[in-house]
């Protein structure tokens, strides 16, 4: 075996998928602040430099983690003509996927803000909205609004869950309407508000027309 073969074997003992799986496990157990390249390397029993064989930096690793999280969003089946039901199903599936991992919403939101990975939910929401007869521009903007709602809502839920687990929320504190009526109920109500507003727009009317 040549020196170059030895180096490649050293750095590719774990596949890219192995690295992402290890990172997801750390994320779920310890949270995003403790997901460091050094901790991940120790978990995989490699030197930190070995991780950069697969990922140029931590941001690209987080983008792959975000893609892995949202890929698990499997919407329930709805009728072909029920475009609003399809949009709701996509939003619900994304919420469930984000909640499946600790700090899942924060990971996806941060990579989305940097334009890295996690493009699938926006595309799927836009496609579902297009089913209602809306033009491409309106569908994209509406999908972005829905996506930001989902990410923000789940991020709030996860932060509150973590705060409750640490006992740092004052007992009897009721200023949080999401907690007061239940996370899922508040989520469903928010999606209904957004869909109702979207339905009030005539399908043949474009975003550009509305701005005139």
Domains contained in the chain, CATH given:
3-55 (1.10.10), 74-211 (1.10.357.10)
pLDDT at 118: 64
Name which of 118, 75, 100, 110 is nearest 157 in CA terms. Answer: 100
| Cα 177 versus chain centre, distance | 23
Report whether 199 contacts 84 (CB < 8 A): yes
Using alpha carbons only, give the angle 25, 29, 35 rounded to the nearest 5 degrees.
Answer: 70
Please state, in angstroms and rounded to a whole number, the distance separating the CA atoms of residues 203 and 42. 54
User: Measuring CA to CA, how many Å separate 94 from each of 33, 73, 75, 124, 162?
Assistant: 23, 5, 8, 10, 20
Q: What is the pLDDT of residues 106-140, one digit of tens each?
A: 999 999 888 887 688 999 999 999 999 999 999 99
pLDDT at 155 over 70: yes
Report whether 11 contacts 50 (CB < 8 A): yes
Query: What percent of the chain lies above the pLDDT cut of 70?
Result: 79
Q: pLDDT: is 81 or 16 the higher one?
A: 16
Using alpha carbons only, give the angle 179, 34, 173 rounded to the nearest 5 degrees.
Answer: 20
Rg (CA), the chain: 21
pLDDT at 114: 83
pLDDT at 52 over 50: yes
pLDDT at 183 over 90: no
């Amino acid at each position: 075996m040549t020196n170059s073969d030895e180096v490649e074997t050293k750095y590719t003992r774990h596949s890219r998928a192995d690295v992402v799986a290890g990172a997801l496990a750390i994320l779920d157990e310890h949270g995003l602040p403790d997901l460091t390249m050094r901790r991940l390397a120790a978990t995989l029993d490699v030197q930190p430099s070995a991780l950069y064989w697969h990922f140029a930096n931590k941001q690209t690793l987080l983008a792959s983690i975000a893609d892995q999280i949202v890929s698990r969003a499997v919407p329930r089946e709805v009728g072909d003509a029920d475009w609003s039901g399809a949009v709701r199903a996509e939003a619900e599936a994304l919420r469930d996927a984000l909640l499946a991992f600790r700090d899942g919403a924060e990971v996806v939101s941060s990579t989305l803000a940097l334009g890295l990975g996690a493009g699938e939910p926006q595309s799927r929401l836009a496609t579902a909205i297009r089913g209602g007869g809306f033009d491409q521009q309106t569908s994209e903007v509406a999908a972005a609004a829905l996506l930001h709602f989902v990410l923000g809502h789940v991020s709030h839920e996860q932060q509150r869950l973590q705060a409750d687990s640490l006992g740092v929320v004052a007992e009897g504190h009721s200023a949080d309407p999401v907690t007061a009526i239940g996370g899922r109920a508040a989520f469903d109500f928010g999606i209904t508000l957004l869909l109702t507003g979207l339905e009030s727009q005539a399908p043949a009317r474009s975003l550009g027309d509305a701005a005139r």
